[in-house]
Amino acid sequence: MADVRARLGTDLPDLLRRLGFRDDDAADAVDAAAEVLDSPADLARVQTYADRLSTAIGDLRLEQAEDPWPEDEPAVAHGRDLGAGVLAMLALVATAEDVHDYHRSRAIDDDISWRSLSDLGQQVWVHRLTYDSFGLHTQGWLRIAWSGDLYWLGRLQFNLQLNDGEWVLSTHIPRTGPLTPESVQESFRAAVAFFGRHFAEFPVRRFWCSSWLLDPQLTEVLAADSNMVRFQRLWQLDPEEMEGDGDALFFTFARRGDVDLDSLPQDTTLQRAIVKRLKSGGHWYARRGSYPLPDQSA
């Protein structure tokens, strides 16, 4: 189990850099760690969260794993205002080396290992973008990476997921710039090679995606040759529609919760389309889709 005091006390800036923290987030994380190391109660909580995270490493279905932190952890007042989700964040930082060791046990390169774990820094950055403050609100999502199941391969991220008895490569699109068709195909190829080599005992036949990006209504409002439309056309959709207004607003405008539609920027085709439909009483939907592994679609 990770000794949180040692992990947060030694070479923290270097670890945060490997975990993808931007400079301002890293500076705030170093300050928060110092506060926690100075507070036995907070340190004990981070240690408990870290112990639970460690137990779940390698449990790809998170079946055995207990929730590492209370569901309402981000709302907890810490006495000092460390920021939402910061104790969970520090537990993730403190256990990153253990997940890295798990990657090593599967002969995964250091570069891919740390790139995959750098989703933590990405999520801390997205939190700042969304709430204009240091913190974390997507610690639930990060549990997939911390179980040893999320890999960032080129443009996309993937994890093995069991759907109705079949393992699929669940596909994720981080907010890191354009989603060019070439970068998507390159990532798909990398994923086939990677999971075939490092997770050979999980045979997969298809990629799978659940996203607001798969709402066919987007094809009605974006250019036919846009990256988003070309991405969506790859997927064979399940019929079920899931509520997607919140995701459309979050992933387009980095806003959560009640959003005043009149306050949103209207600079891009997508921004205008998202707001127009909502103002007219319409909705956006998340959809699920499949895409066969390239070597089986030939």
Identify which range of 12-20, 130-138, 192-200, 206-214 contacts ligand COA by CB under 6 A.
Answer: 206-214
Residue from 80, 175, 205, 279 in contact with ligand COA (CB under 6 A)? 175
Identify which range of 10-18, 41-49, 225-233, 236-244 contacts ligand COA by CB under 6 A.
Answer: 225-233
Cβ proximity of 206 and 168 under 8 Å: yes
Instruction: Return d(Cα 246, Cα 289) in angstroms, integer.
Output: 20
Residue from 271, 277, 278, 290 in contact with ligand COA (CB under 6 A)? 271
Output 9 or 181, the one with its CB closest to ligand COA.
181
Residue from 91, 145, 252, 275 in contact with ligand COA (CB under 6 A)? 252
Identify which range of 42-50, 195-203, 266-274, 290-298 contacts ligand COA by CB under 6 A.
Answer: 266-274
Identify which range of 63-71, 130-138, 140-148, 208-216 contacts ligand COA by CB under 6 A.
Answer: 208-216
Task: Supply the minimum distance, in Å, between the C-beta of residue 65 and ligand COA.
Answer: 23
Identify which range of 31-39, 142-150, 188-196, 220-228 contacts ligand COA by CB under 6 A.
Answer: 220-228
**Is 130 among the residues that bind ligand COA (CB under 6 A)?**
no
**Is 217 among the residues that bind ligand COA (CB under 6 A)?**
no
Output 17 or 272, the one with its CB closest to ligand COA.
272
Cβ proximity of 93 and 120 under 8 Å: yes
Q: Are strands 150-153 and 236-237 parallel, antiparallel or unpaired?
A: unpaired
Task: Supply the minimum distance, in Å, between the C-beta of residue 211 and ligand COA.
Answer: 4
Output 54 or 123, the one with its CB closest to ligand COA.
123
Beta bridge partners of 207: 169, 291
Task: Supply the minimum distance, in Å, between the C-beta of residue 249 and ligand COA.
Answer: 10
Nearest to 53 by CA among 81, 93, 80: 93
**Is 213 among the residues that bind ligand COA (CB under 6 A)?**
yes
Instruction: Return d(Cα 278, Cα 75) in angstroms, integer.
Output: 29
**Is 48 among the residues that bind ligand COA (CB under 6 A)?**
no
**Is 226 among the residues that bind ligand COA (CB under 6 A)?**
yes
Instruction: Return d(Cα 294, Cα 190) in angstroms, integer.
Output: 11
Name the token pair of 109.
């390169």
Query: What residue has token string 């890293």?
Result: 26
Q: Which residues bind ligand COA (CB under 6 A)?
A: 173, 175, 178-179, 211-213, 222, 226-228, 251-252, 268-271
